[in-house]
Every structure is written in structure tokens, then in C-alpha cells.
Amino acid sequence: MTLKQAQKLYGDSVQVKMTHADYCMTTSMLEHIGTRTWGVTPDKQAKVLYTKVGKRVSVVISSREAFIKETGKPVVCKCSACGLYYLAYRRSIDAHDELNAQCPKCESLGCDSDIVHLETSRKFWMNEKIVNLLVPNKDPERVAVMYDSAQEDFPAQYDMLLPDGKRCSDCIKSNTCCSVFGQKEGNTDCQWHPSRYSPKE
């Protein structure tokens, strides 16, 4: 397949051509590169249409439009049963939108009405390990809406949040942090990175 042939099928198709040392490229490496041509966030996923591994030059062609057509547009769902935030995909089928939403934790179908499209809301940005990043006891809404740092910093800031409803005073290390390092007992995020929060028994 050539780039022109791919663009006839999907207008946004792009080709990445890489020069490398002799025989050091594999098909799986090319597919990894192709799916992340637009970026690493879920809303940037792409489908690999063609790969060619060469001795010194390798080629991969991919398309976001193809991924959305086949899998759907990524959205964030909140499980109505256990409260877990997870990634689902909305796909257009026969003039109707179909959402394949099944909670990976409790396996209940469907989600709350507040579905957030990733490309329109930075506060819901996450890496591909979404289930590990977003857990029931931390609501992403708590991260500041006006957070202006790079998107790659979101997981780190999210990880610093204490569980919902918890404060520094609920941590076994609060005496040290508050008396020695000046942390406030009412704070809802840890000043240490990575977070050292450990609940009192």
C-alpha cells in the first residue's frame, strides 16, 4: 500500500519513514510508532494500515479516522454502580451512536450521563493505563480546571491527590509533615512525590 492509496480510503492517513541501523526494526515496533503518530493520549489513537520493515529504512502508514470508524471515539465513563472512571468508545452505526461501555471492575453495563470527550476536556486526560490511573476513591474533577501545565503532568498531579474526603491529618505521617515541613493538616494533596499518604488505622 502506498500513501496515496491509503489517503483515498482515509483522508488523514500519514506515512512515517524511519532510517535506522541495519536490521534493528521489527513489525511490532513499527505498529507501536504508527498507533502513536498523533500522540500518546487516548484521543490520539490511530490504526496502522501498512508496515514495511527494511534493512535500513522502514515505513508505517496510519490513520486516526480509520481507528474511529472501526473502534469509535474514546470517551470517559463513570460506572453508576461502583463509581470507577474508565475508557469506552462511542461508534456511529446505521445513523445511531453506540457506546460500548462495560465497567472493567464490576462488569456492569452503561455509565452515568456525564460522558466527557477526551479531546474537549484536558482535566480528563490520562495515559493508556486508564483503569490503574482513575480509581473510585479519587474524582478527576478535584484536579484544578485551570491547570495550565503540560498534559503529561496530569497523571503526576492526579496521583498526588489524597483519597476523596481525606486530609493530611488522616495520614500516619501528618505529625512529621506538619510540625517539621510546614504542611497544613487540612490539605487534600501530598507534598511528597510520589505520594507518601498512608491512612491511620
- Cell numbers for 141: 474533577
For β-strands 73-78 and 47-52, DSSP reports them as: unpaired
Residue 193: pLDDT above 70?
yes
- Cell numbers for 139: 474524582
The answer for residues whose C-beta is within 8 angstroms of residue 16's C-beta and 6 or more apart is 33, 34, 37, 59, 60, 61, 62
Give pLDDT, residue 181. Answer: 79
Per residue in 95-148, pLDDT tens?
A: 677 777 888 778 888 776 555 555 544 444 443 444 444 555 666 666 554 444
Per residue in 25-65, pLDDT tens?
A: 899 989 988 988 887 667 778 999 999 999 999 999 999 99
For residues 65 and 91, is the Cβ–Cβ distance under 8 A? Answer: no
Distance between CA 46 and CA 105 in Å, rounded? Answer: 26
